[in-house]
Amino acid sequence: MNPMPNVDADEQEILSAFEKGRLKSVATKSELEKFRAAARATSVKDRRVNIRLSSIDLTDIQARALEEGMPYQTLIASVLHKYVSGRLVEKANPGMDRSGSTSRKRTAG
């Protein structure tokens, strides 16, 4: 049985190698410093923002954050950061048309 939940055999093998000290970094000192600087810059949360979301969207965000193992506010901040840095890639959704509208018709209620 897997000693850690949600860890497959490949991940367990990597974790085991790491814990035994068999993994070595291939990054140069300048690359590591660049990564550290980027991590510091993106981890500083110095502004507060209030937004209004639908209950359904918030529930879905909270569920997704739970699946990812992170607080929902962190997930929201991560998605926003990826969007503004141009790293958020939209995948095709068969239920959506090119305008982003759902192809399902809503009934008046």
**For residue range 46-68, what is the model confidence (pLDDT) as tens digits?**
888 999 999 999 999 999 999 99
CA 81 to chain centroid, in Å, comes to: 10
What DSSP character marks residue 32? H
Entry pTM: 0.48
- Residue-wise pLDDT tens digits, 14-31: 989 989 999 888 888 888
Where do the domains of the chain lie? 50-84
Confidence (pLDDT) at 106: 42
Which of 33-37, 66-70, 89-93 has maximum average pLDDT? 66-70
